[in-house]
Amino acid sequence: MIHPRRRPALLAAVPLAVTALLAAADPALAVGGVGAPGVGDPYFPLAGNGGYHVDHYDLTLNYDPGSRRLEGRAVLTARATQRLTRFDLDLRGLKVTGLTVDRTRARHRRDGQELVVTPRRALRAGERFRVTVTYSGVPGPVTDPDGSLDGWIPTDDGAFVAGEPQGAMTWFPANNHPRDKASYDFTLTVPEGRTAVANGVLLGKRTAHGRTTFRWRQTEPMAAYLATATIGKFQVQQFTTRDGVKVYNAVDPREATASAPVLRQLPSVLDWESKLFGRYPFRAAGAIVDRAPQAGYALETQTRPVYDRAPDIATVVHESAHQWFGDSVSLTSWKDIWLNEGFASYAEWLYAEQHGGKSAQASFDALYATAADDDLWAFPPGDPGGGRNIFDTPVYARGAMALHALRTAVGDRAFFRVLRAWADRHRHGHGTTAQFERLAEQVSGKELGGLFHTWLYAPGKPNIRTNSR
């Protein structure tokens, strides 16, 4: 993002007091067959849900930009990770008009952002099941701890849909945490003359009775916050790169002139990043350039980032780098967000360095020259302290500085091997800061604990002279 700124059989035999301690230690641990209302993320405790994994979402949406009314049907194909007598979905604000589990009506109730589902019969551990939810209403965004909006953000001609970190639940029922990734199908119907853009490959579109339906498919695993269904009056460009990646760009006509020179460079940006980070992770690519000043940021929605205005080249490089770092390799905790934003910010430095701009060292030096009371040093990027800080300067800039310090310590050859190995070994999966640290030590053959502590965890402005080399 660019800002302006489980084993039930064993648990049954555990004494009740011990079970309570286990539940307190891990909020995602379900007790007595009840799926937890969150995965235990320290910054967003109710994000995601325990007891199951979603394999696939099939979302059918009908949106009227005039009334801003959404009619939705979500079919979730999931697998129980334990015995489940009850489980939660994340859904905020919309009215549920019907819910079935394996085609049988299930009891459900609302509890804040939680949609609590009680199937007619208990689900066995390992059992695959299908949840169908029909819903409707006027969706709107959620306000994040830092005051920004995310989710379904209405625009003057449709909606800008960007869900980091909480917003997916504003427009479809989800297991809304990066730990739970799935494939997606989208069937989006809008008034004729509007375009509805989602993730992945466009399978087709059809117009009848004054409305157009777009069908999209995202086959590679995707976290819910990276899904989009952005709607507006767009100029569309489609082509296939020499590597077989299907590119789909949708641009608000008011942003077309300013966007054109930058979007022409997208294939070369992806090619450059593929040489640095390894093969591009997805079958599709592109951009959605909207006019959404009320959003105020761009987001790396998978395969097709959304921009609130015409982007500059640095922003395109940043959001494209996220396709490797954040989208393909995803977080297990929002606390580790520097793995997304520090990496994408450092990609900007590398691009400038290799395309006639200032060197990464010069970028590092300019930041290090700031005063010790500058916002850059407000908190360490490996421990932002809470959800309100995850999009602040230290996560981006000091996160990038941490990578440059690593590069300086191990040398270019080992450093770029680390980046490629990270993207390859965790492709379409997840990673943690601890895993990245171990990988860097393994590839470089150096002990790097002091370096990572200095740049990721130590408070205040680091003293470079004490940094591990």
- Confidence class of residue 467 from pLDDT cuts 50, 70 and 90? very low
Q: What is the C-alpha to C-alpha distance for residues 174 and 168, in angstroms, rounded to an integer? A: 7
Q: Say yes or no to pLDDT of 387 above 70.
A: yes
Residue 331: which of 408, 436, 432 has the closest Cα?
432
DSSP assignment string, 248-302? EEEE-GGGHHHHHHHHTTHHHHHHHHHHHH-S-S-SEEEEEE---TTT-SBB--T
Q: Please tell me the predicted confidence (pLDDT) of residue 11.
A: 28
The answer to which of 3-12, 178-187, 218-227, 425-434 has the lowest mean pLDDT is 3-12
Residues constituting the chain? 469
Q: What is the C-alpha to C-alpha distance for residues 349 and 395, in angstroms, rounded to an integer? A: 15
Q: Please tell me the predicted confidence (pLDDT) of residue 225.
A: 98
User: CB of 456 within 8 A of CB of 432?
Assistant: no
How many angstroms separate the most distant Cα atoms in the chain? 70
Other Cβ atoms within 10 Å of 203 Cβ, number: 12
Averaged pLDDT score across all residues of the chain:
93
Residue 78 gets the label, from left (phi > 0), alpha (psi -120 to 50) or beta, of: beta
- Confidence class of residue 72 from pLDDT cuts 50, 70 and 90? very high
Pairing relationship of beta strands 181-191 and 52-64 according to DSSP bridges: parallel
Q: Please tell me the predicted confidence (pLDDT) of residue 2.
A: 80
**Residue 67, exposed/middle/buried by CB under 10 A (0-12, 13-18, 19+)?**
exposed
Q: Please tell me the predicted confidence (pLDDT) of residue 407.
A: 98
| Strands of 344-415, DSSP E | none
DSSP assignment string, 297-344? SBB--TTS-EESS---HHHHHHHHHTTTBTTTEEESSGGGTHHHHHHH
How much of the chain, in percent, has pLDDT values that exceed 90? 92
Q: Please tell me the predicted confidence (pLDDT) of residue 393.
A: 98
The string of pLDDT tens digits covering residues 322-369 is: 999 999 999 999 999 999 999 999 999 999 999 999 999 999 999 999
The secondary structure of residue 393, as a DSSP letter, is H
Q: What is the C-alpha to C-alpha distance for residues 365 and 357, in angstroms, rounded to an integer? A: 15
Please, what is the Cα angle at 240 between 234 and 242, to 5 degrees? 145
Q: What is the C-alpha to C-alpha distance for residues 376 and 429, in angstroms, rounded to an integer? A: 30
Task: Average the pLDDT over 454-459 and give the result.
Answer: 98
User: CB of 319 within 8 A of CB of 281?
Assistant: no
Task: Average the pLDDT over 28-55 and give the result.
Answer: 90
Q: What is the C-alpha to C-alpha distance for residues 80 and 127, in angstroms, rounded to an integer? A: 5
Return the higher-pLDDT residue of 29 and 180.
Answer: 180
Q: Please tell me the predicted confidence (pLDDT) of residue 464.
A: 83
What the block records as the tokens of 202 is: 């466009």
Say how many CA atoms lie within 13 Å of 68 toward its Cβ: 13
Q: Please tell me the predicted confidence (pLDDT) of residue 213.
A: 98
Residue 78: which of 94, 58, 107, 106 has the closest Cα?
58
Task: Average the pLDDT over 445-454 and give the result.
Answer: 98
The string of pLDDT tens digits covering residues 398-422 is: 999 999 999 999 999 999 999 999 9
Task: Average the pLDDT over 123-150 and give the result.
Answer: 98
Task: Average the pLDDT over 382-386 and give the result.
Answer: 97
Q: What is the C-alpha to C-alpha distance for residues 336 and 205, in angstroms, rounded to an integer? A: 39
Task: Average the pLDDT over 61-65 and give the result.
Answer: 98
The string of pLDDT tens digits covering residues 251-301 is: 999 999 999 999 999 999 999 999 999 999 999 999 999 999 999 999 999
Q: Please tell me the predicted confidence (pLDDT) of residue 31.
A: 56
- Confidence class of residue 1 from pLDDT cuts 50, 70 and 90? confident
- Confidence class of residue 321 from pLDDT cuts 50, 70 and 90? very high
Q: Say yes or no to pLDDT of 15 above 60.
A: no
Identity of residue 337: I
The secondary structure of residue 457, as a DSSP letter, is I
User: CB of 230 within 8 A of CB of 159?
Assistant: yes
- Confidence class of residue 83 from pLDDT cuts 50, 70 and 90? very high
Q: Say yes or no to pLDDT of 302 above 80.
A: yes
What the block records as the tokens of 322 is: 């996220």
Task: Average the pLDDT over 455-459 and give the result.
Answer: 98
